[in-house]
Structure 1
Amino acid sequence: MHRPRHVLILGGTTEARRLAAELAADPALRVTSSLAGRVAAPRLPAGQVRIGGFGGPEGLARWLREQQVDALIDATHPFAGTISFNAARAAADVHVPLLALRRPGWVAEPDDDWHPVGSLTEAADALPALGGRAFLTTGRMGLAAFAHLEDMWFLVRSVDAPEPPMPARTEVLLDRGPFTVEGEADLLRRYGIDVLVTKDSGAAATAAKLVAAREAGIPVVVVRRPPAPEGVPVAADPAEAVRWLRASLT
């Protein structure tokens, strides 16, 4: 009797959970999802779950060998750049097929007032010229980039409470999407927000804030995605990832 083919999903995204649910239903597959452990109470996917880092590309390569992984799917957040490059190196070292599952980025519409930047530091540099009350939806990591903006007020939304350093004039809102356009519009009005800062995660669950900002005429500072590893095939959705996996395991 042949052993189930082992698929490792580097997860933490909605797409990763959808993919794990579909693959775990196949008895011919053994599915393991790896979560970074940055969220205190993550939504666990179907199948086996491991939490925590691997110890760089060498540690990941060792895990792939020891656990007899047949295919690796990087379905991490578009801004989790380090693990993506570690996955590319490890997969190449162990000769395991690798796919990147990346939701498409957001596309600006004619009425959007977007200000693309390359990093959180650049976002902080752009803010003073755009407004005085900023809505930060970049997560709880990286708030130190805005800590020096003492004249600005910030509303920070994240799943878990952020830790210092962060801007002195900050109110924290703990919440998890999906969000509605109506809810986001009410939030902008209630807090007097005049500029929004976000990362181009491309998630439909968090795109409502962009619509609300467009309708309110509020500028949006959009942090562009970091570059992805070269030579790694990319799927735009779980269905495409499943097709790639079936072809890779034949």
Structure 2
Amino acid sequence: MRILILGGTTQASQLARVLATRGDIKPLLSLAGRTQNPLPVPIPSRTGGFGGVEGLVAFLRMERIEALIDATHPFAAQMSAHAREACRQTSVPLLLFSRPAWTAGEGDDWTEVASMEDAVVALGENPRRVFLTQGRLQLAAFAAAPQHFYLVRAIDEPVELALLPNHKFVSARGPFELEDELALMREEGIEILVSKNSGGDATSAKLLAARKLHIPVVLVARPATGDATEASLLAEVLRWIESHRAAP
């Protein structure tokens, strides 16, 4: 069974490791190429875009893909939209494999917003020490509020970093431990945290640290996923694969 996995997440790597042990499945992992040194995976992979919906449709047909699993980042809205449309045109079954969104608990001080521009507004006018953990993209939005100090954490240094006149960059890859997050926020005097609602355990320690330190959080909501079938557990994905296998 030929399966295309749109990856770049922990979920994609996890699935790749499991499918690598299956002799009855031929998986291919596709990466966008935004991370300079992605973690190695034990299955064949490709890097780069497809050329929009038309290119993805051609790829699915050329490679005779029998199922597509979208395990991209929850905020990779364009790629996910292209996957939905390409699968509609080719009748290739599609599954969205995504970790559950974070939800606020007791002691959390969260402001949920719809976009990164709204997150900038939520910071307020008075200068604050801001911890940006939304990844390497969309930093340009914060150039509209140069009065703040920004601690920026990402795997690779963002090109847009120079747009922030008062900043410090930390290169790091999760998972992150609670004690490390507490120490970092204390050392940098962080007053507010900005994050996308990516979900999962790898980076959730920052939210626990913010709760313990009584630091408010601005959380950007996920984009809509359309009508795609969704799964959040590996076992659910494997059952879905079996349900879409061709009859012998």
TM (normalized to structure 1)? 0.96
Say whether 1:105 aligns with 2:101.
yes
Counterpart position of 1:221: 218
Say whether 1:211 aligns with 2:243.
no
Counterpart position of 2:88: 92
Counterpart position of 1:122: 118
In the alignment, the residues of structure 1 paired with residue 42 and residue 121 of structure 2 have an alpha-carbon distance, to the nearest angstrom, of: 42
TM (normalized to structure 2)? 0.96
Per-residue CA deviations over 1:171-202 (Å, capped at 9, x if unaligned) read: 10001111011000000100000000000000
Counterpart position of 2:151: 155
Counterpart position of 1:189: 186
Q: Is the 8 A contact 1:130 1:219 kept in 2?
A: no
Per-residue CA deviations over 1:42-95 (Å, capped at 9, x if unaligned) read: 013221100000001110010000001011000000000001010001011111
- Report the 3-state secondary structure (helix = DSSP H, G, I; strand = E; otherwise coil) of the residue aligned with 2:195: strand
Per-residue CA deviations over 1:142-176 (Å, capped at 9, x if unaligned) read: 00000121211000000001113532101100011
One-letter amino acid of the counterpart of residue 216, structure 1: L
In the alignment, the residues of structure 2 paired with residue 73 and residue 130 of structure 1 have an alpha-carbon distance, to the nearest angstrom, of: 44
One-letter amino acid of the counterpart of residue 99, structure 1: L
In the alignment, the residues of structure 2 paired with residue 151 and residue 20 of structure 1 have an alpha-carbon distance, to the nearest angstrom, of: 44
Counterpart position of 1:233: 229
Q: Is the 8 A contact 2:127 2:149 kept in 1?
A: no
In the alignment, the residues of structure 2 paired with residue 238 and residue 60 of structure 1 have an alpha-carbon distance, to the nearest angstrom, of: 25
Correspondent of 1:180 among 173, 177, 182: 177
Q: Is the 8 A contact 2:210 2:217 kept in 1?
A: yes
In the alignment, the residues of structure 2 paired with residue 198 and residue 182 of structure 1 have an alpha-carbon distance, to the nearest angstrom, of: 19
> Shift of residue 229 of structure 1?
2.1
Counterpart position of 1:19: 15
One-letter amino acid of the counterpart of residue 215, structure 1: K
Counterpart position of 1:53: 49
Q: Is the 8 A contact 2:126 2:147 kept in 1?
A: no
In the alignment, the residues of structure 2 paired with residue 150 and residue 121 of structure 1 have an alpha-carbon distance, to the nearest angstrom, of: 14
Q: Is the 8 A contact 1:113 1:214 kept in 2?
A: yes
Q: Is the 8 A contact 1:134 1:154 kept in 2?
A: yes
Correspondent of 2:245 among 229, 246, 249: 249
Unaligned runs of 5+ in 1: none
One-letter amino acid of the counterpart of residue 35, structure 1: L
State the percentage of identical aligned residues.
44
Q: Is the 8 A contact 1:16 1:238 kept in 2?
A: no
One-letter amino acid of the counterpart of residue 184, structure 1: E
- Report the 3-state secondary structure (helix = DSSP H, G, I; strand = E; otherwise coil) of the residue aligned with 1:7: strand
Correspondent of 1:8 among 4, 12, 15: 4
In the alignment, the residues of structure 1 paired with residue 58 and residue 146 of structure 2 have an alpha-carbon distance, to the nearest angstrom, of: 46
> Shift of residue 129 of structure 1?
5.6
Counterpart position of 1:201: 198
